[in-house]
Amino acid sequence: MKKIINLLGFIFLSSNLLFGQSENYSVHNNLSYISKELISNDSLQRLNLVLPKEGIDYPLLIWIGGGAWSYGDRNQEMEIAKKFASQGIAVASIGHRLSPAIWRDPTLNKGIKHPKHIEDIASAVKWLYENADKYKYDRNKFFIGGYSSGGHLSALICLDSTYLNYVGLSPKIFKGLIPVSGTYDINDYHEALLNSARPELAKLHVEAVFGSGKENFIKASPITYLDNLSVSILLISDNNMYNYSKLFEEKVRATDFRDMQVVYSYNLSHGELWRDLSFNESSIYRELIIGFIKTR
């Protein structure tokens, strides 16, 4: 209850400040987070960094945009990044390599499969950790989150330590996890599409990203690694992704882990919640994220 009160108190304070200033942030675009000898796709393996102009040692939100693991990029997340930076939170919008998406556009017929996306995220986190002093954010106040497929990737890198361990780090560097409108059980997602109005998406979409077979789906699912829960969670979902988020919530509640807050937006669709977070001058969901970060 105390945490909720603190969050609500911060919301009222920050909503009065958010749009009283103009461009109280600086932007550093197209920063390469991977060494030249390891680059596979130079245009995608980059990040945009948005920093508050005032102060030092601010928290950093590592943000992964959506796009079904297959389209979209770091630049489409700049509006939400700027709004967070205006509130004293540095934001790194992460780009990563993409999978094919011929179900969306026949020309999107080339790309990579899991775990290449999450390996890129791990490389970006390492770069951000090593460059904290240069850009004056606090490496002891790292948060990670994302929207849609980015929500899945943010949860996976927090719960499966394999990827950060490979680059010499641990999920323990994060103070909080903020997955928004993602899917966290890939096998369940695959089965849901098989039984949907477009069953071909199970193959053209899910299998194009994760390969075929239940074993691959389980390995790529954050829900597989709930025994590793150690980071505060703020789980948010729109009404389209409710079932996937509810499944994740129920599985977490069945463990001994209790440091999780859950918010469902019953009146906003998948696209509407993203637009609310990104473009609305006042967004209760954005303020909840800000409060979650500021109170930790």
pLDDT (tens digit per residue) in 146-160:
999 999 999 999 999
Q: b or e along 236-260 (b: 16 or more beta carbons within 10 Å of the residue's beta carbon)?
A: bbbbbbeebbebbbeebeeeebeeb
- pLDDT, mean of residues 8-21: 41
Query: What Cα–Cα distance (Å) separates residue 97 from each residue in 160, 192, 198?
Result: 20, 26, 26
Structurally, the chain folds into a number of domains equal to 1
Indicate which CATH number applies to the domain containing 290.
Answer: 3.40.50.1820
Q: What is the pLDDT of residues 40-64, one digit of tens each?
A: 777 899 999 999 998 899 999 999 9
- pLDDT, mean of residues 203-225: 98
Predicted pLDDT at 55: 87
Pinpoint the alpha helices (H) of 29-96: 78-85
Show the tokens assigned to 194: 């098989």
Predicted pLDDT at 110: 95
Q: How confident is the model at residue 38 (pLDDT cuts 50, 70, 90)?
A: confident
Q: What is the pLDDT of residues 108-135, one digit of tens each?
A: 999 999 999 999 999 999 999 999 999 9
| Separation of alpha carbons 163 and 169, rounded Å | 9
88: which DSSP letter? T
Helix (H), strand (E) at residue 130:
helix 116-130
Q: Is the pLDDT reported for residue 78 higher than 80?
A: yes
- Mean residue pLDDT of the chain comes to 93
Closest CA to 167 of 233, 118, 134, 207: 118
Q: How confident is the model at residue 22 (pLDDT cuts 50, 70, 90)?
A: low
- Which residues form the domain of 166? 2-294
Q: Is the pLDDT reported for residue 20 higher than 70?
A: no
Predicted pLDDT at 1: 43
Q: How confident is the model at residue 39 (pLDDT cuts 50, 70, 90)?
A: confident
